[in-house]
Structure 1
Amino acid sequence: MPEQPSTLRARRRAQTQRTIQAHAIRLFGERGYDATTMNDVAEAAGVSPMTVYRHFPTKEDLVLADQHGELIAERIAASPAGRPLVRRIGGALVDAAATLTGDDRAADRRFLLARLQLMISTPALRARHLDNQYALQQAIIGALEDETPDPDTAFQAQAAAGACLAALHTAMVRWAEDDGRTDLPHLIGKALAAVFGDDVIGPAR
């Protein structure tokens, strides 16, 4: 069956975004974040400045925009509802990291590492990174929405997501500081274990 026009447009849009962002990250690494303009990114990507702004309204978005929240939310939604929240969320974070940094994803791993290092080293990006953390927390809570019908269970989901994301952030900063030499899923699991105990990622008993 031929691909639907709406699906084809979405694929083309996603590919354009990936191309623009890849060139932006490369230029930021080569020239520095402050020295690189949106016009520089447009020229490198072979598109108009208007196209860059349509996909990335601000310069910060060129670094911070990602679709990882969707991947993590899907994994949480697919996990057994009877498991403790921190295991479901923590397991999804570890699994997503393994997917994004696996041996067959060398280019994705380098891209993720470069983005993280830019976030850590650039003051303007460090401030906006908190927005990303909040958006990811909301994606996680959204994945659990059907299981949190009242304010008390919703609060528990928010607390579990917030604590897991704090551990994630600590692990990702360590990974970036190590220049990607350590195993990111292992670091995330280690950070989660430091907060919740050694069996947080293990099978439910």
Structure 2
Amino acid sequence: MPRTDLVEGDDGRSRCAWGANDPEYRRYHDEEWGTPQHDPGRLFEKVCLEGFQAGLSWITVLRRRPAFREVFYGFDAERVASMTEADVERLLGDARIIRHRGKIEATIQNARATLALEVPLDELLWGFAPPQRAAPLTFAELPAVTAESEAMSTMLRKLGFRFVGPTTMYALMQAAGMVDDHLAGCFRAGATSTAIATPTLSGPTPAA
């Protein structure tokens, strides 16, 4: 039986079907998705943009990412944390981004929560990364939620983060390379190694 979840591109490489056609999706699939990301600034951006994705397709967010980066100061947490209600109102009138008050306000709150952390954001998030597993064969094998994403969500909510539900946090894990969900046969599958120990499902404990 042919595997419809994989597509061979014009470059001869097999890819996960979702990343095979649209040029922006293909670049994202080939260069970003599933690549371990440890930079705290880029991880903060991913937390916020995954929140904006809630209820939408990722391509909707991806095509607006340049505008998001502009209006949120490159996702500089200190600058975002200083944004005011006037900034929220201004962004609600900016058609280049997703104009959702709750998500805009959550981004500002998440910046403030990030600055209040007692451990670096990358250390906190990567503390929930699961051990590596065999590459999935089909999209149907991919979970929407895992014990690790539920634990991450619970911790982040306790720390004041918003729009960080367990499904959103599993999408973050996929995007940031905490899990490698490229399908077996995709040229990216297993191309990077997370080299992460088995988590405790609680993440690092913030210093007292």
Give the shorter-chain TM-score range.
under 0.3
Q: Which has the higher helix share?
A: 1
Larger radius of gyration: 1
TM-score by length of 2: 0.28
TM-score of the pair, normalised by structure 1: 0.28
Higher RCO, 1 vs 2 (CA within 8 Å, ≥6 residues apart): 2
